[in-house]
Amino acid sequence: MDPTTLSATEQSDTIAGGTLSAAELMQATLERIAVTNGSVNAIVSLRDPDDLITEARAADRAPRKGWLHGIPIAIKDLANAKGLPTSKGSPLFAGQIAAEDDLMVSRLKEQGALVIGKTNTPEFGLGSHTFNPVHGPTRNPYDLTKSAGGSSGGAGAALAARMLSVADGSDMMGSLRNPAAWNNVYGLRPTWGAVPSEPTGDIFMHQLSTLGPMARTPLDLARLLDTMAGPDSRQPHGLTPDAAAPQVKERGPRLRLGWLGDWGGALPFEPGLLDLSERALHQFGDMGHEVHPLGPPFDAEAMWESWITLRSFSVAAGLHEHFLEPKERDYLKPAARWEVERGIAMSAMELHAASMVRSDWFRRTTPLFEEVDVLVLPSAQCWPFDLSLTHPTEIAGVQMDTYHRWMQVVIPASLIGLPVVNLPIGFGENGLPAGLQIIAGRGGEGRLLQFANEWHQATDWPNRRPPEFTALVE
């Protein structure tokens, strides 16, 4: 048995039962990384293997901390893990060592996780294509010439390639969904406020980005969410979500699924994606759920303008100090400079108008979730694209007017902080994977995870079609 092919729950149970040691799992993990990571480049800043084996042996001798006891994990390189570099993909931070763990990382360690390194991310997490001048690009395990998505692209690729069984990520504009779809795994963006960020800087105004889990099974997704979630007394907006893992059952209530498709023609898609999505919808119907095609419930362009205004404001708040220093500004990639320039030029009333549109969209979802139980959209508007591209410039003949317009399909959930899970739904004729977003109302993680688990029991795409590892060896 290769323990790296097990789910995190299976790894946890076998370690608890004494049939697998943390040291054996660590050794197998390091061997898998040695074989695959040179081609995929998903894990960066890997710790010394001898130190990791020593740490795993210590875990075998120690009392069991929690369900992650002895399980290797790598932290997305936007978050701090004590003793490891946090580059954020930027030369500005390359080599800087974190003095402390972020709150999320400390919660993982409290459950016994062993941090082995970091997972790669785009510079400052901007753009759903994982490449940066510090660590280079992360390649898609299903086709090494293609992007792994982002900004949690390193996490998604590491899961697909069996270098990790669970991974953390973060999501402002699809970063837990797009890479999950492109790597044939699960990713969950929680209700905003369910998983706290760091209690630093402004803790009131910016409600677009959130931390969340990725995994190869919905049960692992739920258990990692339970570990990450829960309020922090130093922050004002925290939620106390219901425990997710107990709600993961093989069969739950039949759901009414609202299919939004291409949003009434507003969203272009590359050929094959909507066809694959609709095949999955037919399978949902075969499982006993009701699929209801919906017209566009809100003006797509108004939503887009609201989003890019609030996003630029948020990005500028985080990066403007670097932008104002000429020597540091030169290190910012064009997308980062574009965001900051827009953000610092905005007036208060422009931000108010954008938030009014956001508020109107949230109010519109109240009757919408009375008509249906969840909303359904594709997780991406294009297939994994060529690794050498910075970003797609057109989709199905439609020109993309910004570096991130091609990700527009993810903003209905992001703009108003709704929970959404990516379901892997199979492969196109090009051999590349795709996914669907299943979106619930606030606090609906349990419903999403229960549905995802029923889908997983029926399809199990991550195990049914893993990458061909022989293709990963250079």
441 to 30, 416, 445, 447: CA distances (angstroms): 40, 10, 9, 10
Annotation says 249 is catalytic? no
Catalytic position from the list 87, 128, 151, 314: 151
Nearest to 453 by CA among 282, 290, 267, 252: 252
Report whether 29 contacts 4 (CB < 8 A): yes
**Token pair belonging to 298:** 């809100």
The string of DSSP letters for 307-331 reads HHHHHHHHHHHHHHHHHTSHHHHTT
Report whether 389 contacts 131 (CB < 8 A): no
Torsion over CA of 52, 13, 140 and 374, rounded to 10 degrees?
-140
Annotation says 170 is catalytic? no
Annotation says 76 is catalytic? yes
Name residues whose C-beta falls within 8 Å of residue 452's C-beta, 6 or more positions apart in sequence: 186, 218, 221, 421, 423, 438
> How far is it, in rounded angstroms, from Cα 68 to Cα 224?
9
- 214: buried, middle or exposed (CB in 10 Å: 19+, 13-18, 0-12)? buried
Q: Which residue has the tokens 């299943």?
A: 438
**Token pair belonging to 241:** 């979500």
> How far is it, in rounded angstroms, from Cα 302 to Cα 309?
11
Catalytic position from the list 175, 197, 312, 414: 175
Residue 184 DSSP label: T
Q: For residue 151, is the peptide bond before it cis, meaning its omega torsion is within 30 degrees of 0? A: yes
Of the chain, the end-to-end C-alpha distance in Å amounts to 25
> How far is it, in rounded angstroms, from Cα 342 to Cα 373?
37
**Beta-carbon-side half-sphere exposure of residue 352 (alpha carbons within 13 Å):** 3
Residue 156 DSSP label: H
Strands 290-293 and 256-259, sheet pairing = parallel
Catalytic position from the list 7, 12, 76, 314: 76
> How far is it, in rounded angstroms, from Cα 387 to Cα 266?
27
Task: Give catalytic residue positions.
Answer: 76, 151, 175
